[in-house]
């Protein structure tokens, strides 16, 4: 896998999640950051920091990105969300336009 096809998402605590660019683009917000014509630091380096999103939530969001791609390609499985994290996850998803 080439480096350009990956992006790094960094949580509030500094954990780095390296995922496929294609998966990250499920988020409209990340898509805008990575593709906007201006020279966002994010689009040059392929690194996006989310100081508001905790590691556990960001991990779940990365899982969702991949699940969403699979779902779109016809593999209809259930995406389980633990009730404890629904509120935090909902707010992160709202921020990421997912």
Partner 1 sequence: MEIQSQPLDQEEMGGLIGLCIDAATKNSESVEKWRRQRRTLERMPTHLGEVVLQRLLSRKLVYPSLLEIFQHCVGSINLRGENLVDAEWMAYLGAYRYLHSINVSGCRGINNSSLWALTGMDTLKEVDISRCSKLTDAGIVHLLSISKLEKLFVSQTGLTEKGIIQLSSLRKLSVLDLGGLPVTDLALSSLQVLTKLEYLDIWGSKISDGGAAVLKMFSKLNFLNVAWTNVTKVPHLPNLTCLNMSNCTIHSIFEGLADREEGPHLRKLLLSGATLSDINDALLHVEPRHIFFLNVSQSTLQDFEFLGNMTALEHLDLSFTRIRDNNISPILLLGESLRYLNLSNTRLTSTGLGLLVGNLPHIESLLLTHTGVDDSALSYISTMESLKVLDLSNTNIKGLHYLVGHSPDQILTLVELQNLKHLERLDLEETQIRDEAVLPLFGMLGLKSLSLKSDFLTDISLHASSSLVNLKFLGIRGAVLTDAGLQTFNPPPMLEILDLRDCWLVTADVLLAFCERHPRIVVKHEQYQRPVQDLYAFGNFSATGASKAMQLRSKKTKTSCGVGRESFADERLRYTREELLELEFSPWSRALPSNSGAVMPKM
Q: Are 8 and 49 in contact (CB under 8 A)?
A: no
Is residue 50 a contact point for partner 1 (CB under 8 A)?
Answer: no
CB 17 within 8 A of CB 8: yes
Restricting to residues 7-36, which ones interact with partner 1 according to CB under 8 A?
none
How far is it, in rounded angstroms, from Cα 85 to Cα 55?
12
89: contact with partner 1 by CB under 8 A: yes
Q: How many residues bind partner 1 (CB under 8 A)?
A: 18
Q: How crowded is residue 68: how many other Cβ atoms within 10 Å of its Cβ?
A: 15
Say which DSSP state 12 is in. T
Q: Which CB sits closer to partner 1, 18 or 90? A: 90
Least Cα distance to 11 among 64, 66, 63, 52 occurs for 52
Sole binder of partner 1 in the list 38, 39, 77, 84 (CB under 8 A):
84
Task: Report in angstroms how near the CB of residue 92 gets to partner 1 at its nearest.
Answer: 8
Residues engaged in binding partner 1 (CB under 8 A): 61, 64, 68, 79, 81-84, 86-91, 93-94, 96, 98
């Amino acid at each position: 896998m080439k480096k350009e096809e990956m992006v790094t998402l960094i949580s509030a605590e500094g954990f780095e999640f390296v995922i496929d660019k294609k998966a990250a683009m499920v988020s409209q917000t990340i898509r805008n950051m990575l593709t906007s014509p201006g020279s966002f630091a994010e689009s040059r380096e392929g690194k996006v920091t989310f100081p508001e999103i905790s590691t556990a939530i960001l991990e779940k969001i990365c899982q969702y990105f991949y699940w969403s791609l699979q779902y779109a390609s016809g593999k209809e499985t259930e995406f389980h969300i633990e009730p404890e994290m629904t509120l935090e996850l909902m707010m992160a998803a709202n921020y990421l336009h997912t």
